[in-house]
Amino acid sequence: MAGSAESSGGGFFGLFKKKASEPAATIAPVDKETVLDTFSAIAPALLAALEDKLPVRVLLGNSSFSYYTHFEWELLDDGNGLVVQSKTYLEEGQYLLLATVDPPIGNLKIRSAGEIRLEFASKYHRLECETSLQQITPAKKLRMSFPKSVLQKPQQRLAVRVPVERNTNIVVTIVRPSGIVFEAKFRDISATGASFYPTGATPRIADHARVQMAITYPEGNVEVDAVILGAFVSEGELVFRAQFLVASHQSSQQISAAVAYVQRCNIQRRKETLQ
């Protein structure tokens, strides 16, 4: 078998050629909780998370504190002096390969964690599984046990939604997969997602499409990827629902700060109304 050649150096990646990708298994939306407990059902879900570069939330033991990471391609020597990206380890159910977690202290805590739970959102589902640390590779990747089962839930927003008034000073810039950019306003926002309506021409965005969001308000700004969950019409306007793909502890804090800003604006508006 070819030897492992993992690395994270920028110049080193100039030697890589990406292994030819294979068509991903078809994964359909679900409307109820389902336990995936066969390899044929689990592997496509994990491969989709790798190929779509989905962020992974890590929970250790009984703590509610979240760490963030993502699935990594395994880097292998092809025998001809080139390094190729491989997903064989997932296709064969050998183990999971994760990047080091953020914040970095989690990389120490994970060594002694009795329980490790992974949560991630695909285009169609929310997925949860339990795993354990097998080893930390020489390239500082986390090699985890392949899960025995995966809990698959319908894709939906979980956190409390805070309504956003039209005159709230917060601007949203959406970048579609095609690269087209448009401005929008939030209808509501939470720690895990938002609903928004375009302020100009109504764009076409397919359900489950991945977009980029830039959120700007007087106290800060946030950039985060999101998955479009669907759209509905409210008072004659087309409103899109989106699930945030939070990829780091910093992003989580920035989104929470934006939600807190909206809450303060709402409280101040109510006070002014009562005066």
Residue-range domains of the chain with CATH: 11-154 (2.30.110.10), 162-274 (2.40.10.220)
DSSP for residue 127: E
Q: What 3-state class would DSSP assign to 261?
A: helix
Q: Does the global pTM surpass 0.75?
A: no
Count of helix runs (H) and strand runs (E) in the chain: 4, 19
194: left (phi over 0), alpha (psi -120 to 50) or beta: beta
Low-confidence ranges of the chain (pLDDT < 50): 1-26
pLDDT of residue 256: 94
Tokens 């709230």 belong to: 168
Nearest 10 degrees: Cα torsion 263, 265, 270, 272: 160
Reported as a single tens digit per residue, the pLDDT across 201-254 is 878 888 888 999 999 999 999 999 999 988 999 888 899 999 999 999 999 999
pLDDT score for 11: 37
State the Cα–Cα distance between residues 13 and 83, nearest whole angstrom: 9
Q: Residue 83: enclosing H or E segment and its boundaries?
A: strand 83-86
Helix, strand, or coil (residue 140): coil
pLDDT at 122: 72
Structure tokens at 86: 């491989």
Cα angle value 137/143/147 (rounded, 5°): 170
Name beta bridge partners: 196. Answer: 186, 240
Q: For residue 48, give both structure tokens.
A: 């989709």
Q: List alpha helices for 6-150, DSSP H.
A: 39-51, 88-91, 106-109
Specify the pLDDT at position 31.
67
